[in-house]
Amino acid sequence: MKKTIYKCVLPLLICILLSGCWDRTEINDIAFVVSSAIDKKKDQYRVAMQIPLVGQLGGQTGGGGGTAGSKTWYVDSASGTTIREANNKLQTSLSRTINTSHRRTVIIGEDMARDGVAPVFDILTRNPQNRLTALILVSRGEARDILNTDVQLEQFPAEMIRELAIIATSRPVFLSRFMSDLVEIGSDPYAPVISASKTKPGGKGKSNLKIDGLAIFKKDRLMDIFKDEHMTATLMLLNQARQPEFIVDLPNQMGQASIQLQKSNASFHAAEKNGKLSMTIEIRAKGIIMENQSTYETRENDQYYIIQKALNRTIKKDVISTVHRLQKLKADPAGFQDRTIRSTATTKNLLKKEWEEVYKDMEVHVVPIVTIEQGGVLYKTISH
C-alpha cells in the first residue's frame, strides 16, 4: 500500500520542481525591430528604430507603407551621450520590450560615419541578440529620415532598404563582413549609400528610396562617397559589380553606344620596380550592346571592333581615375595592401615601408580584356 502511495505522490512532487512557463514572454509584449538608424549630432548619439505594427499588416493588400490610411510601421528615436543610453531611453517610451534579433538593416548617418563607426560595432558585438547578418548602409543626411520614408512598393521601409542593399552589390555588405574589413589589415570597408528621393510619375510625386553611391572608408571613418563611373569602377575592382553599364563615346563623333557587362573579373599582380610598387590590374569581361545611337554597325566587322576598342578605353580610363582617387584618400577597399603582402614579386624592403607611402607612390597599369558577345538582332541603326 505504501509503495502505491509513493508511486502516486512522487510524480506530483517532481512536478513542483518543474519550471513550466514562469519566465515566458508573450509575443504581444515584444517590439521586434526590423531596422535601426544611428546618427550623431555634436556629442549626442541618436538611435531610431522601426517596428512593424502587426495588427495593421493584414489590412494591406499590396505595398505602400502609409498610403492606405494607417501605417504598417512605427518609428521612434531617442538621444544620449552613448548609443546604449539612447537605447535605454528609447525603451522607456515603449510599452513592449525591444528585440533586435530580427533586425534586417542598420543605417548609419553620414555625419556619424565621418566621425567614426567604431561605437556602433562596439555595442553590436556585445549583445548576442544583435545578429551580424544585418545589412549595413550609409545614408545621405540623417539616417532617421530614411526610416520615415513612405515607400510605395513594400509594406514598410525596412523591407525596401533590405532589397536595395542586396541588389547594390554582387555580395551584400553584412555587418560581419564590414567588421572583418574594419579589424583586419589589408583592406578598408565600404558600404552602399542610400538616400530619399521623389518619384517622378508626373504631378507632385511621392517619396521613395534609392541607392545612389558607395561609401569609401579609411579604417572606421567615411572618407568619401563615390558615384557614377567611380562607383562602377570601384565595384569592378572589388568584383562586386552587378551587370555594370558603360555609355561609350565612339570615335569621330559618330555617336554613343550603351554596353552592359554580363560577366567581369578583376585580377591583380603586384611587383616591385625601382623600389616602388607596381600594380597591374587585368579586367576580363563579356558585354552586350544594349543601345546603339551611332552610325557604326554592330555585326562582326571592323566597325564592331571599333566599338569594342572604345569600350576597353573607357573602362581603362575609369579604373585608373578611380584608383588615383582612392590613393589621394589613402583608402584601400580593393585590398591592394593585402595583395602586396601576399605577392612573391615584392621584396622585404618594400614591405618594411609605411603602407601609406607605398600606396601613394604606387604605379597603376590597367589591362582591360573585354569582348562584346552580342550586338543585337538589329545590327544597323534605323535612323542612319
Strand partners, 264: 285
What CATH number is associated with residue 333? 3.30.300.210
CA angle, residues 359, 338, 284, in degrees to nearest 5 = 90
Domain annotation covers residue 376: yes
Last residue of some domain: 226, 252, 278? 226
Q: Look up residue 342 and give its three cell numbers.
A: 601576399
Q: In this predicted structure, which of 18-22, 24-28, 63-67, 198-202 has the lowest mean pLDDT?
A: 63-67
The tally of domains found in the chain comes to 2
Domain annotation covers residue 194: yes
- Which structural domain range is residue 347 located in? 227-384
> Are 191 and 253 part of one and the same domain?
no
- pLDDT at site 72: 84
- pLDDT at site 25: 67
> Are 66 and 204 part of one and the same domain?
yes
Last residue of some domain: 226, 258, 278? 226
> Are 245 and 212 part of one and the same domain?
no
202 burial (CB, 10 Å; 0-12 / 13-18 / 19+) is exposed
Q: Is the pLDDT of residue 136 over 80?
A: yes
- pLDDT at site 382: 62
The per-residue pLDDT of the chain, averaged, comes to 86
Domain annotation covers residue 20: no
Domain annotation covers residue 170: yes
CB atoms within 10 A of CB 351: 15
- pLDDT at site 165: 95
> Are 211 and 286 part of one and the same domain?
no
Domain annotation covers residue 240: yes
Pairing of strands 135-139, 105-109: parallel
> Are 46 and 173 part of one and the same domain?
yes
Domain annotation covers residue 109: yes
> Are 264 and 372 part of one and the same domain?
yes
> Are 175 and 321 part of one and the same domain?
no
Q: Is the pLDDT of residue 51 over 60?
A: yes
Mean pLDDT for the stretch of residues 145-169: 91
Domain annotation covers residue 17: no
Q: Look up residue 7 and give its three cell numbers.
A: 508511486
> Are 295 and 163 part of one and the same domain?
no
Give the whole-angstrom CA distance, residue 28 versus residue 19: 22
Q: In percent, how much of the chain has pLDDT > 90?
A: 55
Q: Within 13 Å of residue 298, how many CA atoms lie on the same side as its CB?
A: 24
CA angle, residues 353, 359, 361, in degrees to nearest 5 = 95
pLDDT bucket at 69, cuts 50 / 70 / 90: very low
For CA atoms 328, 332, 337, 342, the dihedral sign is: negative
Q: pLDDT tens digit string along 288-307?
A: 988 888 877 777 677 888 88
Q: pLDDT tens digit string along 9-39?
A: 667 666 666 655 655 667 777 889 999 999 9
- pLDDT at site 61: 44
- For residue 283, report the phi and psi dihedrals to the nearest 5 degrees: -115, 115
Domain annotation covers residue 232: yes
> Are 185 and 296 part of one and the same domain?
no
> Are 249 and 345 part of one and the same domain?
yes
Mean pLDDT for the stretch of residues 236-241: 95
> Are 214 and 306 part of one and the same domain?
no
pLDDT bucket at 58, cuts 50 / 70 / 90: low
Mean pLDDT for the stretch of residues 200-219: 85
Q: Is the pLDDT of residue 75 over 50?
A: yes
> Are 210 and 335 part of one and the same domain?
no
Last residue of some domain: 178, 211, 226? 226
Give the whole-angstrom CA distance, residue 263 versus residue 370: 10
- pLDDT at site 6: 61
